[in-house]
Structure 1
Amino acid sequence: MLQRSTLKFLKDLRLNNNKAWFDDNKANYQQAKEDFESLVQQIIDGLARVDPGIEGLQVKDCVFRIYKDVRFSKDKTPYKANMGASFAKGGKKSPYAGYYFHLEPGGNSFVGGGLWMPEGPIIKKIRQEIDYNFADFQRIVGQKEFIRVFGKVNGDSLKTAPQGYHEDNPAIAYIKLKSFIVSNHVTDEAATQPTLVREVLRTFAVMQPFIQFLNSAQDE
C-alpha cells in the first residue's frame, strides 16, 4: 500500500510545479519517494517469483525520475506530478515488453503493460509473430479474464496495412498497431489499501501471457 501523504504530495506538486516550492518541500518529496520505492520493491519481489525475466532487477532499474526533460517540450514545468515504474527484462530502458505501474492522483493511476512505440526492427518481428501465430494471440487477448480486466489491446494504428500485409489479413487490426498496450484503472482509494500489491500482481498475472507473446518475437 501507499501512504496517503504520498498522494497528497503529488496533488500539491501539481498545483505548485516550480523549483522554489519543490525545494521547500524536499523532505516531503523524499518521504513520498521512499514510500513509492518500497512499493516497487514489493512488486519486484512478487513478480520475480512468476516471471524469470524480472529476477535481479533493482528498484533503481525500474523507477522513473520525477524530473522532466523540458528541452523540447512546450510544457516547461520542471517536475512530473506522477510516479511510475517499469518492470521489464533489462530494466526500464529495455526494448522488451514489460509491466508498468503509474501513480497519479485524481483518478489517473493505472496498472498497465506491453510495448510502447517499438523501433522498426522490433515491430516487424512482432507483426510477423502475430501473423504467423494469430490463433495463439487471439486466445490470449480473447480470454474472458483478459477482456474483463483490460478490455482490448490499445495503441496508435497505421491508416493502411504495412508493407508485406494485406487489408484482408484476419490479424490486420493488430498488425497495424504501432504500440501494444493494455491497462487497468486504479482509484486513489485502492492505491492506499493494504491489498494494493496483491491486486497489482494479480493484474500482472492476467497480462503475463500477453507480455510473453510480445517478447517471444524478440527472443526467436
Structure 2
Amino acid sequence: MQIEKSTFQFLKDLQKNNNRDWFTDHKPIYTEAQQNAKAVFAAVHHNLEMHDEIEKSKMMRIYRDVRFSKDKTPYKAHFANSYSRLGKELRGGYFLRIRPGESFLAGGFWEPNKEDLFRIRKEIEMDATEIKDILKEKNYIKHFGGKFESFGELKTAPRGFDKNHPDVDLLRKKGFIATKNFTDKEVLSSNFVDLVDDSFKALRPFFDLFSDILTTNLNGEQI
C-alpha cells in the first residue's frame, strides 16, 4: 500500500485552486485520493497495532472551519490522520500528515491536560535525567534529531517552579512532541508505510517513560 502519484497531484492542484467551484468540479478525483490516503493510514494503523495499543484512529476532514481563522481558504490541502494510544493506561498519540513539500509525522503529547502536564513538570523538577537520556538515545537522534518540539512554550518557568532550575527549558514546554519530516520522494516510495513505522517504533522509549511517569506518583507508586 502506498500514496499514489495521482493523490499527490490532487493535493498540488488543490493548493493552487483552493475554492469551492474547483473542488466541486473535481469531487470524483478527490474521492479517489481520499480513499488512497485512507488505505495508507489504515496500513499504518495495522503496523502500529503490532507494537502498541491504539484506542482510536481518526482521519481529519478536508473541510476547514474558517469562522475564527485568518486563512479563509475552504479546504486543507493535505490528508492527515491521528492515532490515540490506550487512554489512561498509556496516554499520548501519533500523527501523520501527507502534503506535497510539507509531509511529516509526530508522536507524543500535543496538548496534555493540566494534571498530566503538572505531573511531567514535577518529574522534571525532581530529576530530568531519564527524560534527557531519551533525547540522547541513538535511534531517537536518528529519527527525531534528539529534541522535543512543543508548539508553544512559556517565556519563563511555570508558576510554582524555579526560574533558575537547570532544566527550565523543559519546564517551559506546554507539550512534548517528536517530529520528522519526509521528502515527496519518500512519501511516494513503495516503502513509505514502513518508513513511518520505523519512526514510530523509535518513539517506544519515550512513550514507555512518559506512560510510567503519568501512571505513578513521584515515589514511583502506581496511582
Per the alignment, residue 4 of structure 2 pairs with 3
1:138 aligns with 2:139: no
Aligned residues: 211
Per the alignment, residue 129 of structure 1 pairs with 123
Per the alignment, residue 197 of structure 1 pairs with 193
Per the alignment, residue 166 of structure 2 pairs with 170
8 Å contact kept, 1:100–1:112: yes
**Is the alpha carbon distance of 1:133 and 1:42 closer, same or farther for their aligned partners in structure 2, counting shifts above 3 Å?**
farther
Query: Given residue 103 of structure 1, which amino acid in structure 2 is its aligned partner?
Result: I
1:99 aligns with 2:100: no
8 Å contact kept, 1:17–1:79: yes
Q: Aligned partners of 1:203, 1:17: CA distance in 2, in Å?
A: 32
Note the residue ranges of structure 1 that are not aligned, 5 or more in a row.
none
Query: Given residue 164 of structure 1, which amino acid in structure 2 is its aligned partner?
Result: G
Query: Given residue 122 of structure 2, which amino acid in structure 1 is its aligned partner?
Result: Q
Note the residue ranges of structure 2 that are not aligned, 5 or more in a row.
217-223
TM-score, scaled to structure 1:
0.88
Q: Aligned partners of 1:132, 1:113: CA distance in 2, in Å?
A: 25
Q: Aligned partners of 1:9, 1:190: CA distance in 2, in Å?
A: 18
Per the alignment, residue 157 of structure 1 pairs with 153
Of 78, 81, 87 in structure 1, the residue corresponding to residue 77 of structure 2 is 81
Question: What fraction of aligned residue pairs are identical, expressed as a percent?
Answer: 35
8 Å contact kept, 1:98–1:211: no
Query: Given residue 203 of structure 1, which amino acid in structure 2 is its aligned partner?
Result: S
Question: What is the root-mean-square deviation of aligned Cα atoms in Å?
Answer: 1.9
Aligned 1:25-104 pairs, distance under 5 A: 25-51=26-52, 53-54=53-54, 57=56, 61-89=57-85, 96-104=91-99
Q: Aligned partners of 2:40, 2:165: CA distance in 1, in Å?
A: 43
